[in-house]
Structure 1
Amino acid sequence: MTGCEIDGHDVLHDKWGNHQWVYDPVTDKHYDAECPEGVDDWKQLPFYNR
């Protein structure tokens, strides 16, 4: 993806630490290894719904 950004967010769980994902402004979606199809909001990534 050209022009994508790598973003991250600290998780409120000591075991997992933080997580990083890719945001593509062209598709306006957030991607990570578990969600290659992308989601509209980073809070919808599977990592944050465990």
Structure 2
Amino acid sequence: MGLKTKTKCLIALILLGVVDAVIPVPILVVILLYVLSQRPPWFKDLVQEIYDKKD
């Protein structure tokens, strides 16, 4: 059984936070600006998968 989507997102955010702290280029800010300006379909799908009530 694989990891839940929430767990995958949390791991990805932690890794991005570590990279953001080590490298002076603000990667999280760039990703946030991309998501806010372009509204990619993968982000909407990810949010729907996180909040989908399957329990």
Instruction: Check whether TM > 0.5.
Output: no
**TM-score for both structures, normalised by structure 1:** 0.22
**1 or 2, which has the higher helix percentage?**
2
Higher fraction of strand: 1
- Using CA pairs under 8 Å that are at least 6 residues apart, name the structure with larger relative contact order, 1 or 2: 2
